Structure 1
Amino acid sequence: MPAEDSATPSSTAITRQIVSIVSFTFLGFLCIGIPIAVVPGYVHEQLGFGTVIAGLTIGVQYLSTLLSRPTAGRIADSLGTKKATVYGLAGIVASGLLTLLATSLQSLPLLSLIILLAARVLLGVTQGVVGVSVISWGIGQVGGEHTARVISWNGIAAYGGIAIGAPLGVLMVDSLGLWSMGSALMLLAALGLLFIRRKPSVPVLAGERLPFRSVLWHMLPYGTGLALASIGYGTLTTFVTLYYSSRGWSGAAYCLTAFGIAFIAARLLFINAIKHHGGFNVAISCMVIETVGLLLLWLAPSPTFALLGATLAGFGLSLVYPALGVEAIERIPATSRGAGLSAYGLFFDLALGMAGPLMGAVALGYGYPSIFFSAALLALAGVLLSLWLARAKH
């Protein structure tokens, strides 16, 4: 039911609407997850290229997402959010076809690699288009007052899709062969295109659209706060295995599991906190919790304390994105909502991209535990920035 209807929908009905729309994010990120753990091994072991090239096949996707953010927002704002989602799903079908072609040309390593890189670039672009379009579609469907809930549920769908897709991709390739990877992408995205036909669209809003540079300027302080908090996530996912190894511990994967469970649980349990307490209050509280978790990881005398630290970090980070996002999106007109979401998401991409080289340099100079102390200081800087923004608002 559109938000403008006279009958006010119940909270459960709104949640159902949101979930029905963000299910396309889940589908899209399931397709992103399926190749993520398979492609580097294929490039290194089957095609015979080095580890740098193998890593490039994953990194090029994130770079493509980052660079395509402005275009993704413009497509969603000007062509409509449902149509933009359709384009994204169609792009995943094409990426699956290229992936299937690449894996069938294993006897021609260079050609296989080139086609595979093209598939990864296309998948990265579609990731940006689907992610932005679905959030904007959901907000348009249930109303701006439910922005935080839409962003929260969309995040759950994205993380859930990758969490399921990564092991599923490994299982499929081990059981069926490499051909199953590209085929799965085509099949899942095609199913999405079939189901999306029944979904109601929201009208394209008429009016002036801000240039992306102007939107980016509006998003800068809020996106900076998001980036400061998100570097802790990039640090944990990139270096937790090496951190555990440096301490002589085993079970690093459980640390990531604890982070993920706490992240999703917090979004499910406190999804309405932003509406009741305000975006800045929630963001500040969450970043404080995240800072404590990162400090625990820094000082952890045993894996148990590290596990607790990862849990607190995941719980704390969970609502930062939607909390600051609500405050950010309020600053721009609805006609440029897609551009705003793209610009805001760009800071999250930057944080994940910066975490590796930045914390790698810290670890080289001061050891692996120090990376979590550094991430905690950055999260604390995010707290101070959010306090300043909240005071400036009032």
Structure 2
Amino acid sequence: MSNKSQKTVSPAIPSPPAASVFLKVLPITLAVFIGFLTIGLPLPVLPLHVSGVLGMGPLMVGAVIGTQFVAALLSRAWAGALADTRGAKRAVVTGFLVASCSGGAYLVSLSFLSSPAPSVWCLLVGRVLLGCGESLIVTGALSWAIGLVGPQNAGKAMAWIGMAIYGAYAVGAPVGIAVQREIGFAGLSVAAILLPLIALALVARVRAIAPAAAQRMPFYTVLGVVWQAGTGLALCCVGFGVITTFIALLFAARGWDTASLTFTAFGLAFIAARVFFAHLPDALGGARVALVCVLIEALGQLLIWGAETAVMAHIGAALTGFGYSLAFPGFGVEAVRRAPPQSRGTAMGAYVAFSDVSLGITGPLMGAVASAWSLDAVYLAGAGAVALSALVAVRLLTSPRPA
């Protein structure tokens, strides 16, 4: 047989059916859901704990919440490199272990309730650990899932992983408040220790994917490839950031006692969008889907800003969640298609890093807005930021894309 006859061209790999994609990523999705309860449970509790128990102002509340995202940002390059060179599964396992340590820092903070400053420092340490763990989990899980189902199903993979993340926010918020009422912040701290370990057990036997090729694009080079999609993500993340950081304070200021339902409304709408429309970024194009969805998200922010009842704020949160749900994989598909396959983990780390920048800045910046004007003003500012991401989507629609 001649050398020429031995050289065959690999046929195009057909896209597996949606059910097959779901089954392949299901264990990772469940693990991410359980692991992210470590973030979801304290979401409505931490702002009130820092404000009410420790007596800190909105600026410090924003700093405590935002520290997690800053830490995640600073660890994205490391997380992406670990996923590409040592394997995505290794990154996820390491992330769960680091996230578990954050609960220990929360427990230690309770020893200093009579001295608020040391207690806040312990909380900040916990948020740093949680941010690093979150960076490893998200970067590794996205790279792992895409590696299992193929880049042609990147949008679906990102949709399911994202559903797990925000489903944890939706479930975690009311559960966190219930745990706080029954057994206090100490109970939340213990849960933050145990939940990542349970998640770790779920993925222990899942097949790992081989690390990418030894030669990778440097992080800053990949950053240059995905910066447009990342900018769109950063702007639309503001809507999510102002809900997680300030909605509990807004409801308390207005005498409404259903703040936890806002997180539930956000999360359920987020999940519904993923269940029924997760295929759209792959089928119609990420930028086109993102353009429509960020406009829906901006409308949700405006409803919260002008809400005169708690129900109207819940509707605004639901629209925010629905729009943000598909904006993330919409911009993400554009990032994946512009990045080389051997640097997919680094590309995912670079892309998600833009959300870290956004959420890290949103907390303290919007805290300053709330201090200078009012709590509801942060949602008007949020609507403006989200609307700007529509311009990015238009730019992606008109710019050239690799075949």
Range of TM-score over shorter length: 0.7 to 0.9
Is 1:125 the counterpart of 2:161 in the alignment? no
- Asked whether the 8 Å contact 2:29–2:161 carries over to 1, the reply is yes
Is 1:77 the counterpart of 2:84 in the alignment? yes
Query: Helix, strand or coil for the counterpart of 1:319?
Result: helix
Cα distance, 1:114 vs structure 2: 5.1
**Equivalence for 2:95:** 88
Q: Report Cα offsets for 1:197-216 as digits up to 9, x if no partner.
A: 21110111214211111111
Number of paired residues? 390
**Equivalence for 2:7:** none
Is 1:353 the counterpart of 2:385 in the alignment? no
Q: Distance in 2 between matches of 1:314 and 1:111?
A: 35
Of stretches 289-298 and 311-320 in structure 1, the one that deviates more from structure 2 is 289-298
Of stretches 365-374 and 255-264 in structure 1, the one that deviates more from structure 2 is 365-374
Cα 1:85–1:327 change in 2 (3 A) is same
Cα distance, 1:164 vs structure 2: 2.8
Paired letter, 1:266: A
- Asked whether the 8 Å contact 1:104–1:179 carries over to 2, the reply is no
Paired letter, 2:291: I
Of stretches 104-113 and 118-127 in structure 1, the one that deviates more from structure 2 is 104-113
- Asked whether the 8 Å contact 1:24–1:134 carries over to 2, the reply is no
Query: Helix, strand or coil for the counterpart of 1:148?
Result: helix
**Equivalence for 1:329:** 336
Paired letter, 1:199: V
**Equivalence for 2:208:** 201
Paired letter, 2:333: V
Q: Distance in 2 between matches of 1:211 and 1:351?
A: 22
Counterpart among 25, 39, 62 of residue 69 in structure 2: 62
**Equivalence for 1:271:** 278
Query: Helix, strand or coil for the counterpart of 1:351?
Result: helix
Q: Distance in 1 between matches of 2:94 and 2:255?
A: 48
Cα distance, 1:308 vs structure 2: 3.9
Q: Report Cα offsets for 1:243-285 as digits up to 9, x if no partner.
A: 6678887755544443332222111110111122111111111
Query: Helix, strand or coil for the counterpart of 2:278?
Result: coil
- Asked whether the 8 Å contact 1:61–1:124 carries over to 2, the reply is yes
**Equivalence for 1:391:** 398
User: 5+ unaligned residues in a row in structure 2: which ranges?
Assistant: 1-10
State the TM-score, normalized to the length of structure 2: 0.82
The equivalences for 1:182-221 within 5 A come to 182-221=189-228
**Equivalence for 1:285:** 292
Higher relative contact order (CA 8 A, sep 6+): 2
The equivalences for 1:145-224 within 5 A come to 145-172=152-179, 174-176=181-183, 179-224=186-231
The equivalences for 1:29-40 within 5 A come to 29-38=36-45
Q: Distance in 2 between matches of 1:330 and 1:149?
A: 14
Cα 1:312–1:153 change in 2 (3 A) is same
- Asked whether the 8 Å contact 1:294–1:313 carries over to 2, the reply is yes
Cα distance, 1:329 vs structure 2: 1.4
Cα 1:261–1:248 change in 2 (3 A) is same
Query: Helix, strand or coil for the counterpart of 1:204?
Result: coil
Query: Helix, strand or coil for the counterpart of 2:240?
Result: helix
Cα 1:199–1:369 change in 2 (3 A) is closer
Query: Helix, strand or coil for the counterpart of 2:205?
Result: coil
Cα distance, 1:56 vs structure 2: 4.6
Cα distance, 1:385 vs structure 2: 2.2
Counterpart among 354, 378, 383 of residue 376 in structure 1: 383
Percent identity over the alignment? 37
Of stretches 88-97 and 153-162 in structure 1, the one that deviates more from structure 2 is 88-97
Cα 1:370–1:111 change in 2 (3 A) is closer
State the TM-score, normalized to the length of structure 1: 0.84
* Superposed CA RMSD: 3.5
Query: Helix, strand or coil for the counterpart of 1:318?
Result: helix
Cα 1:173–1:282 change in 2 (3 A) is closer
Query: Helix, strand or coil for the counterpart of 1:330?
Result: helix
Q: Distance in 1 between matches of 2:174 and 2:147?
A: 34
Cα 1:175–1:149 change in 2 (3 A) is same
Cα 1:309–1:60 change in 2 (3 A) is closer
User: 5+ unaligned residues in a row in structure 1: which ranges?
Assistant: none
Cα distance, 1:236 vs structure 2: 3.8
Of stretches 141-150 and 347-356 in structure 1, the one that deviates more from structure 2 is 347-356
Paired letter, 1:293: G
**Equivalence for 2:149:** 142
Is 1:319 the counterpart of 2:319 in the alignment? no
- Asked whether the 8 Å contact 1:76–1:132 carries over to 2, the reply is yes
Q: Distance in 2 between matches of 1:94 and 1:260?
A: 26
Cα distance, 1:344 vs structure 2: 1.1
Cα distance, 1:294 vs structure 2: 3.5
- Asked whether the 8 Å contact 2:170–2:266 carries over to 1, the reply is no
Of stretches 347-356 and 72-81 in structure 1, the one that deviates more from structure 2 is 347-356
Of stretches 254-263 and 378-387 in structure 1, the one that deviates more from structure 2 is 254-263
Query: Helix, strand or coil for the counterpart of 1:393?
Result: coil
- Asked whether the 8 Å contact 1:231–1:354 carries over to 2, the reply is no
Cα 1:252–1:208 change in 2 (3 A) is same
Cα distance, 1:58 vs structure 2: 3.6
Is 1:16 the counterpart of 2:23 in the alignment? yes
Cα distance, 1:15 vs structure 2: 0.6
